[in-house]
Structure 1
Amino acid sequence: MTRTNHRDDADGNGVPPHLRNLHRRTYPMRTLGMGLAVLPVLVVLHELDAGWPAWAWTLFCGLAWPHVARLRAHYSRVPYRAELTNFMIDSAMAGSLAPIMHFNLLPSAMLLTVATADKINAGVRGLWSRSLLGMLAAMLLSTLLAGWQVEIATSPPVVLACLPLMVIHTLAVSASSYRLVRKVQKQNLRLDELTRSDSLTGLQSRDHWQQQAGSMLAWHAATGQPSSMLLVDVDWFKAINDRHGHAIGDDVLRGIAGVIRASLPEGSHAGRLGGDEFAIVMPVDAGKARSIAEGIRAGVATLDLPHLPMLRSSVSIGSAEPPTADADLRTWMEAADHALYRAKAAGRDRVSSTHSTDGTLAATH
């Protein structure tokens, strides 16, 4: 147990999380690729009437080495670093087989290409370029041992023997890449959801709400259709947190968010600006917005919390239409904020509205 923990600690030191299990991810593809790669090599060796050392080395590379590499990385103190060395050995083996085949064109080119592509597919920066040196060195050493002989012509049996590697390995790599792409897409969608939503209340985040509010303001300016904004502030929220704790305060915010969500007409957008303040934009006129705001205020006033049913909370709400036809989002928010200030100054637990036509304010309890 001590050995395993020590290995895990070393493996995690400075190694990106997605590469810590590289040797486990590589094992199936190495077994498949190298197993299929020996087929054309063996056919070439048969045609060349090669001696037993060439046969033994080819069989070791294709059938034994993937399992040796797996065990080597698994029992290494730092599996990730051991697997990087395994990749270098893969390339060296591919390079060593080309001279043994007398540089038979199709299988030699295919082996060297697949070996290099596997390094790229591993996702380790610069691995493929570093492996080329080992590949060339092994090719040179194999040439010195086997002799320099070149017979690049590829016979039909060798072409047929290349097909499994060309087809099966390519499809397997494509399937692996497809799964990775799908995983990244799902993570991106999840990240997009997180950036668009407030994690506590489930309403839109501040940035996403501002984008939606800006779009509604542009739609209002282009079409002249009514639009209204509500700013909702929880009354005495700090006192709730101080008296009952932040967990209860979070329950209050979630409950109010539920009331807001249930009150919105179609086409509306509600977000949490931060702390205890919410913002809403709706494609409705000032009268309808005021009615919706009153509904939200009344709903919050009767909100029951499961953990503290006797607690009563209230909200102050400022409502405003775009002040002018060419108003920007900041100006619109300032108008609603001014109305909110008036609601709080008038005693809280009420709605105050700013009318865009004359700039007047109205407040109701």
Structure 2
Amino acid sequence: MDNRSGKGLSFVKRIYLPRIIGLGIGLLSVAAAVAPLSPPIWIWCALLFNGLLWPHLAYQWAKRSTAPFQAEQRNLLLDSLMGGFWTAAMHFNPLPTVTVLSMMTMNNVAAGGRRMVAQGLVAQLVGMLLASLLLGTGLQLDATPLQIYACLPMLTLYPLALGWVCYRLAIKLAEHKRRLSALSQTDSLTGLLNHGAWKDMLLLKFQACLQQQAPAVIALIDIDHFKTINDTFGHVVGDCVLRQLSAELQRNLREGDQAGRYGGDEFCVILPGTSEEQACQAMERLRERVASYRNPQLPHLRISLSIGLSAFHPGLESPEHWLDQADKALYSAKRQGRDQINFAHGEVTALKLAYPD
């Protein structure tokens, strides 16, 4: 929170505009209340400083601090102290006093909750005591029409400004929450769904297929001899191969298809609304695109894929059963010599033969 370029500085910026508006229109309320008391000239100078110059001074003070968040909390306590000072200076005129103190308390609630409210209350009492020592005590219970009208901008415009700042903050927090949610579901290396997020998606698709009796196919994809690639060319190249495959998946799959990194060098895809033939064609295009990849700096690097496919059918007991069938098809493809596609049902279909290079 105290980082100069982090949340502390953003907190300072959020307070700046409400303070300008609040102290600027609060100046009218206080001026209308102290004018009948014929205060000394220094009170008018202090009032003008507090209402017009202090917001900008406070902003620069906190902005240039090594701990902006703490500096802004200090500024808020000074606001409370000055608010208490002005309530005593205007002899606790009811309407301006309630207006000023309630706006200060609203600031403290929004900025720091219960603890900040308690500290602000102490600062207000200190400000009242200071004004009483300098100006004497008094009690003015009658409010003039001018004082009432002078309080109206504070009672209307300032809550509107503070509400707008809170609304903007809520929008930002919601956006950050969406981003964090997306990051928690994304594999950092490939940008695809991670293992857990893809398994959650598989459960949803399985339930949808059961309810709607809709076709769907899942694919498990394994990079052949990936360990050899890592051992021969290094893990940096291995990571590049993983990113290359994820990029091909994102380019070649439809918008509704869900691709994820299942773990290590295994990838997984849900193909909703897809027949077995369509799934075979899509995966064969992927296999051919990956096989044709060449890196000019690594002419000996070759990439091939083994792919296991499993179509949804009512006899599947669970998403895990569905996935297990695709896993068996994948290992069947690997046992048959790799670089091919196999379906989960009884016939061992090597689509490398159906779609020759």
Query: Where do 1:174-213 residues align within 5 Å?
Result: 174-213=163-202
In the alignment, structure 1 residue 234 sits paired with structure 2 residue 207: no
Provide the residue aligned with 1:335 in structure 2.
325
Identity across aligned pairs (percent)? Answer: 35
2:73 counterpart (80, 84, 93)? 84
In the alignment, structure 1 residue 111 sits paired with structure 2 residue 111: no
Q: Distance in 1 between matches of 2:159 and 2:107?
A: 11
In the alignment, structure 1 residue 325 sits paired with structure 2 residue 315: yes
Unaligned runs of 5+ in 1: 1-11
Q: Distance in 2 between matches of 1:265 and 1:55?
A: 70
Contact 1:315 1:350 survives alignment (8 Å): yes
Moved more, 133-142 or 15-24: 15-24
Contact 1:39 1:161 survives alignment (8 Å): yes
Q: How many residues were matched structurally? A: 351
With over 3 angstroms needed to count, the CA separation of the structure-2 counterparts of 1:261 and 1:141, relative to structure 1, is closer
SS at match of 1:153: coil
With over 3 angstroms needed to count, the CA separation of the structure-2 counterparts of 1:177 and 1:344, relative to structure 1, is same
Contact 2:9 2:63 survives alignment (8 Å): no
CA RMSD of aligned residues (A): 3.0
Contact 1:336 1:353 survives alignment (8 Å): yes
Provide the residue aligned with 2:47 in structure 1.
58
Q: Distance in 2 between matches of 1:268 and 1:84?
A: 50
Q: How far apart are 1:43 and its partner, in Å?
A: 1.4
Contact 2:82 2:124 survives alignment (8 Å): yes
In the alignment, structure 1 residue 300 sits paired with structure 2 residue 294: no
Moved more, 207-216 or 64-73: 64-73
Q: Distance in 1 between matches of 2:185 and 2:290?
A: 25
Q: How far apart are 1:86 and its partner, in Å?
A: 2.7
Q: Distance in 2 between matches of 1:62 and 1:269?
A: 58
Q: How far apart are 1:159 and its partner, in Å?
A: 2.2
Contact 2:193 2:259 survives alignment (8 Å): yes
2:281 corresponds to which letter in structure 1? S
Q: How far apart are 1:263 and its partner, in Å?
A: 3.9
Query: Where do 1:206-285 residues align within 5 Å?
Result: 206-265=195-254, 267-282=256-271, 283-285=273-275
Contact 2:186 2:192 survives alignment (8 Å): yes
Q: Distance in 2 between matches of 1:14 and 1:67?
A: 21
Provide the residue aligned with 1:171 in structure 2.
160
With over 3 angstroms needed to count, the CA separation of the structure-2 counterparts of 1:210 and 1:241, relative to structure 1, is same
Q: Distance in 2 between matches of 1:261 and 1:67?
A: 50
Contact 1:234 1:315 survives alignment (8 Å): yes
SS at match of 2:165: helix
With over 3 angstroms needed to count, the CA separation of the structure-2 counterparts of 1:215 and 1:307, relative to structure 1, is farther
Q: Distance in 2 between matches of 1:157 and 1:308?
A: 84
Provide the residue aligned with 2:279 in structure 1.
289
With over 3 angstroms needed to count, the CA separation of the structure-2 counterparts of 1:56 and 1:299, relative to structure 1, is closer
Contact 2:4 2:66 survives alignment (8 Å): no
Q: Distance in 1 between matches of 2:299 and 2:238?
A: 13
SS at match of 1:231: strand
Moved more, 209-218 or 296-305: 296-305
2:121 counterpart (123, 127, 132)? 132
In the alignment, structure 1 residue 45 sits paired with structure 2 residue 29: no
When normalised by structure 2's length, the TM-score is 0.85
SS at match of 2:139: coil
Contact 1:44 1:101 survives alignment (8 Å): yes
1:157 counterpart (146, 152, 169)? 146
With over 3 angstroms needed to count, the CA separation of the structure-2 counterparts of 1:266 and 1:69, relative to structure 1, is closer
SS at match of 2:307: strand
Deviations 1:276-309 (A, max 9, x none): 1111122323343333333322232222346545
Contact 1:226 1:284 survives alignment (8 Å): yes
Q: How far apart are 1:27 and its partner, in Å?
A: 4.4
Provide the residue aligned with 1:101 in structure 2.
90
With over 3 angstroms needed to count, the CA separation of the structure-2 counterparts of 1:224 and 1:62, relative to structure 1, is closer
Contact 2:2 2:70 survives alignment (8 Å): no
Q: How far apart are 1:136 and its partner, in Å?
A: 2.0
